[in-house]
Amino acid sequence: MQDIIDGFLKFQQEAFPKRSGLFKELATAQNPKALFIGCSDSRIVPELLTQQEPGDLFVIRNAGNIVPAYGPEPGGVSATVEYAVAVLGVTDVILCGHSDCGAMTAISTDTNLDHLPAVASWLAHADAAKAVNAARTHVSAQGRLEAMVRGNVMAQLTNIKTHPCVALALDQGRLNLHGWVYDIETGSIDTLDGTTGRFVPLAENPQVCATPVTTTLAA
């Protein structure tokens, strides 16, 4: 805890003064252009990966970068998506999975989660990707995990399209969806090509996006 407190003190004394003008602007308003939906994994830092400043990203983080399909009892993720799209008017939604994801590892290895009932219930929102991935042949456990990570990104993009605010924004052409997979070891990102349903290197395909999302949960 002391490291965290020391970090805050360093921020207050060094980082904050350098951005005092920015924070003064942000004190009464925000205007992020993108909603970033990522995993709670401590190794994933959206602002660091994208080199964005405070106020640039609206962020949702949870186990497995999951977005439940819209339903009669929407939860916190649904409410945050709705606020970002309908109120803040973000123009892009980035749904980012990552390598060595604990949530996707649990699914791909069919780990017994009886002792973690809340986790098991939450990960059920990835059942579509789980079913497709389990039915396919994989050359290795690592290959199975990598395919699960990608399939889950595609499944969650499908889920987010069930949200009325997202469906409307897509229909009006004012929102783009992006599916990313970040590799922790190499620092690279693969992005989903919505036309082919395949993941390609983002560095070589910066204009590619996941809109429209294909229905096949292919890796």
User: Hey, which residues does 34 pair with through a beta bridge?
Assistant: 57, 92
User: 6, 92, 98, 125: which one is catalytic?
Assistant: 98
Which residue in 19, 96, 100, 101 is the catalytic one? 101
Please enumerate in sequence order all residues whose Cβ is within 8 A of that of 78, keeping only pairs 6 or more positions apart, or say none.
67, 68, 70, 71, 163
Dihedral of the alpha carbons of 47, 50, 55, 56, in degrees to the nearest 10: -160
- Is-catalytic flag, 138? no
Give catalytic status of residue 114 as yes or no.
Answer: no
Q: Is 178 a catalytic residue?
A: no
Provide the total of helices (H) and of strands (E) in the chain, helices listed first: 10, 6
19 is catalytic: no
171 carries an active-site annotation: no
Q: How far is CA 55 from CA 46, 168, 208, in A?
A: 12, 25, 24
Please tell me which residue in 39, 96, 165, 209 is annotated as part of the active site.
Answer: 39
Contact 219, 199 (CB under 8 A): yes
- Residue 107's Cβ-count burial label (10 Å; 0-12, 13-18, 19+) is buried
5 by DSSP, 3-state: which?
Answer: helix
As a whole number of Å, the end-to-end CA separation of the chain is 40
| Cβ–Cβ under 8 Å, residues 39 and 64 | yes
Of 3, 6, 19, 43, which one is the catalytic site residue?
43
CA–CA gap between residue 152 and residue 148 (Å, rounded) = 6
Residues noted as catalytic? 39, 41, 43, 98, 101
